Chains A and B, each alone.
Chain A
Amino acid sequence: MTSVGLPVYLGLSAILMTIGLIGVLLRRSPLTTLLSLEVMLNSVNLTLVAFARQVGGTDGQVFALVVMGIAAAEVVVGLGLVVAMTRREMVLDTDELRTLRG
């Protein structure tokens, strides 16, 4: 981080987070929604690692690894739901899942 400072990393992370957020809001396919969520989680990982380098401690890196584990768990559950939807011959469209809508 000699020539590129922390604010630049944080700005990049913010841009990636925004792109992922727009993807989650705009896409109806549950698969693409999950992929956009991954982009958001990764931008947070970049923030954690950048702060760890700034402060000089390993705490941020440990949390980045924890976030990776949680992301794996989230993907397993999300993809399990997609497979279950496919097996029940449902349309893969998050707008069609409205059974629980009040």
Chain B
Amino acid sequence: MEAVVFFIAAAAAIASAVAVVAQRNPFVSALALLGNLVSLAVLMLLLEAQFVAAAQIIVYAGAIMVMFLFVIAYVGPRGEIGPGDRRPWQTVLAIVAGALIAVQILVVVLTTDFGQATSVDDAFGSPAAVGEAFVTKYVLAFEVVSIVLFMAAVAGVLYGAGARPRRLTTDEVVAQEQRSAEERRREASQAALRAVRDQEGGAS
């Protein structure tokens, strides 16, 4: 039973990861990543990490993906650059390099004896257990992550809002309109004057 769930989730994870990389439309890519995240959460549940699986769904599939989808919608069709638009030798080199790394890791992993998994009780991976580790042993990492997140939020706002062209005030817009209307009127009267003069010149 466990093996069946594992292989279904693993196949879904690999298929959705390929879709993320191969899709032309970034919107479809983001939705494929959503599928990838959910299947990984299933695998984490199989590994008895309930809290991490829940955080994966809530934080990743909820918050981060919504941010992604907002930006993809904001950017619109300009974000679409298809796969395979590198030069052909670059594509081949990238796939060869990736395959080499995969073979390397797989050889190491499959030839190492990791021994038997330790048996764990029901409290393993519960929010209580993870939370306790967070506020005792890893309290420094916890605080550092919160500061990094805060700094990243400030940096993101500054990047996104920095280079905005200045908006005209209402007075400036009205002044501009009046100026252009006056110019149009002057041009029209000059053109009429010219036409009358041309006619007079032709007649004499």
Q: Which residues of A contact B (CB under 8 A)?
A: 1-12, 14-23, 25-29, 31-32, 34-36, 38-39, 42, 45-46, 49-50, 52-56, 58-59, 61-66, 68-77, 79-84, 86-88, 91-93
Contact = CB atoms under 8 A, between A and B. Distances in A.
Interface string B160-189: 101110000000000000000000000000
Tell me the dominant secondary structure on chain B's binding face: helix
B91 interface: yes
Is chain A's binding surface mostly helix, strand, loop or mixed? helix
Contacts of A80: 155-160
B20 A76 contact: no
A52 B129 CA distance: 13
A86 to B, nearest CB: 5
A39 B101 contact: no
Given A64-B49, A69-B145, A77-B155, A9 B98 contact: no
26 contacts: A4-B3, A7-B110, A12-B13, A15-B14, A16-B14, A20-B21, A23-B20, A25-B90, A25-B94, A27-B81, A31-B79, A35-B33, A42-B40, A46-B44, A49-B49, A54-B114, A61-B49, A66-B145, A72-B152, A77-B152, A80-B157, A80-B158, A82-B75, A87-B163, A88-B163, A91-B78
Nearest to A28: B81
A42 B36 contact: yes
A79 B157 CA distance: 10
B109 A32 contact: no
B71 A79 contact: yes
B112 interface: yes
Interface residues of B, number: 92
Given A18-B98, A53-B48, A56-B124, A69 B149 contact: yes
B156 A17 contact: no
Given A15-B102, A19-B14, A31-B75, 6 more contacts: A14-B101, A42-B37, A56-B117, A73-B151, A82-B79, A83-B71
Interface in B90-113: 90-91, 94-95, 97-99, 101-102, 105-106, 109-110, 112
Nearest to A4: B6
A76 B155 CA distance: 8
A39 B17 contact: yes
Contacts of A83: 71, 74-75, 159-160
A5 B163 CA distance: 52
B191 interface: no
B2 A68 contact: no
